[in-house]
Structure 1
Amino acid sequence: MERRLSALLVDDERLARVELRRLLAAHPDVEVVGEAEDVSGATRVLRARRPDVVFLDIHLAEASGFELLDEELGETAVVFVTALDAHAVRAFEVNALDYLLKPVSPARLARTVERLRSSLSGQLPSGERRLTLEDRVLVQEGARTELVRVSDVRCILAEDDYSRLVLTDGRELLVHESLKRWESRLPPRHFVRVHRSTVVNLEHVERMEREENDTFRLHLRGLAVPLTMSRRYAVRVKELLA
């Protein structure tokens, strides 16, 4: 039997802590071992209990939750919980395990608990975990860092050692990451390779048309030019779209 995971709740609003405790009660493998309303209180619990995870609000009454990261956290994972997503990029830059927006939904929290369990057991190394459509991923284009929702990616095109993310708002981001690595992280029932240099989000597929030379044209919503797809990949796409 797996051991229970210990959790610390840090929020300056008592009702917010009560609600998060209620949501965590649905996960018998997680035990709340302490609560705090500020950084100093959280520090005392961290040093005394060394919990597996701290659910941390960013906007505390007298300080930012980021100040807690100046403490020696050891192996304690951090999950930010906040009503605003303005600090999401910074949260991922400091290697937070996850980032939850209030009000926290039970389904989203369940994914966080699963991610926590996998991370602590060593099943999924940090930065290599499988993403979901609802997740956001940190990407860097040149000197600019941006947080992109996975569901907003229409397709990804390989360009040598780089990949071009085509987004639903019409923008394209050229990032230094291989198509193979994207394919290993993206949800396989939604993102599929249709060409040796192309991965598409099936949520954005409008239709596929067969050409005379045994290739296919794949039309994506919002994309003016259809993508080329071979018969080899078409079989898999048809299965997933059925």
Structure 2
Amino acid sequence: MLSLKTLIVDDEWLVRSELKTMLAGYPEITLIGEAANVAQAIPLIQKNPPDVIFLDIQMPGASGFDLLDQIDTAARIIFITAYDKYALRAFEVNALDYLLKPISKERLAKAVKKLGSNELASAQPHKKAAYDDVLYVIVNGALKFIKLPLLKCITAEGNYSYIFYADKPRALVSKTLQDWEDLLPEKQFVRIHRSAIVNFEYVEQVRKCKNYTQEVFVKGIEKPFVMSRRYASKLKHLLPV
């Protein structure tokens, strides 16, 4: 039988207590610990990596998103949240599972059922993102959230891609450039070559070159990107005359 090591991270004792009671009815769930905040959760995850984390979003000191930014974990994440328009938008855009407080037995049953399949692991964003959205990406097997306004550009690497983030080193993620193009808002993110998408908010200069190509200089990236004639013709409204 499937056995999933499970950790609960929530600052409310009553929520943790009720969730533990409900999870006790699922033989596939093995509760290995609980934490009231991010500081408590980090050593628990490092000492005994869980398969599943029930993770609260809003906690004193640091949020659930902050926890995922500080650790590398391959655990399946089921978010727990009170009604929060911003958080719900993030979950829906990214096709992630979440539980609204107070947690219902019916909703929990659906979430646990998904754990026995690949539905959560293979979930892909299914809505066109807005510029102020956050997206999740898998980096080195770990779930990371990124804020789109801080994403400078993306380059193709076979069936993967490199993302260039405003304040972090580039990272290889398991998305194709076509995946990104289908997802990202077209007003800011523009495909300038078959192997590159740039956020025009970070474009410092576009310089015309020979053979009807143009060089696109992105803030913080030393080497310019080459924009082919094919893509330049589609972007006249964004380019200097």
Q: 1:181 to 1:70 in 2, by over 3 A?
A: farther
- CA-atom RMSD, angstroms? 4.0
Structure 2, unmatched stretches of 5+, are 1-9, 26-55, 97-122
Superposed displacement of residue 63, structure 1? 3.5
Structure 1 distance, partners of 2:207, 2:18, is: 51
- Tell me which amino acid in the other structure corresponds to 2:192: V
What residue in structure 2 maps to residue 200 of structure 1?
198
Aligned length: 168
* 1:87 matched to 2:85: no
Structure 2 distance, partners of 1:213, 1:195, is: 15
Q: 1:71 to 1:135 in 2, by over 3 A?
A: farther
- Tell me which amino acid in the other structure corresponds to 2:89: T
- Tell me which amino acid in the other structure corresponds to 1:138: Y
Residues 202 and 241, structure 1, Cα contact 8 Å, conserved in 2: no
Structure 1 distance, partners of 2:190, 2:222, is: 20
- Tell me which amino acid in the other structure corresponds to 1:67: L
Match of 2:153 among 152, 155, 162: 155
* Partner SS, residue 222 of structure 1: coil
Match of 1:217 among 201, 215, 218: 215
Superposed displacement of residue 82, structure 1? 2.0
Q: Deviations over 1:176-205 (max 9, x none)?
A: 211101111111111110000111111111
- Tell me which amino acid in the other structure corresponds to 1:149: K
Q: 1:62 to 1:184 in 2, by over 3 A?
A: same
- Tell me which amino acid in the other structure corresponds to 1:62: L
Q: Deviations over 1:119-169 (max 9, x none)?
A: 9xxxxx963222222222221222333221111111110011110001112
**What pairs up with 1:174-185 in 2 under 5 angstroms?**
174-185=172-183
Structure 1 distance, partners of 2:224, 2:18, is: 45
* Partner SS, residue 213 of structure 1: helix
Q: 1:162 to 1:100 in 2, by over 3 A?
A: farther
Structure 2 distance, partners of 1:187, 1:100, is: 28
Superposed displacement of residue 81, structure 1? 5.7
**What pairs up with 1:100-115 in 2 under 5 angstroms?**
108=86, 112=89
- Tell me which amino acid in the other structure corresponds to 1:161: N
Residues 137 and 145, structure 2, Cα contact 8 Å, conserved in 1: yes
Residues 57 and 64, structure 2, Cα contact 8 Å, conserved in 1: no
Q: 1:156 to 1:65 in 2, by over 3 A?
A: farther
Percent identity over the alignment? 25
Structure 1 distance, partners of 2:181, 2:24, is: 36
- Tell me which amino acid in the other structure corresponds to 1:167: Y
- Tell me which amino acid in the other structure corresponds to 2:233: V
Q: Deviations over 1:62-97 (max 9, x none)?
A: 34499389599xxxxxxx76256531249x95355x
Residues 137 and 150, structure 1, Cα contact 8 Å, conserved in 2: yes
What residue in structure 2 maps to residue 5 of structure 1?
none
Superposed displacement of residue 60, structure 1? 2.3
TM-score (norm 1): 0.55
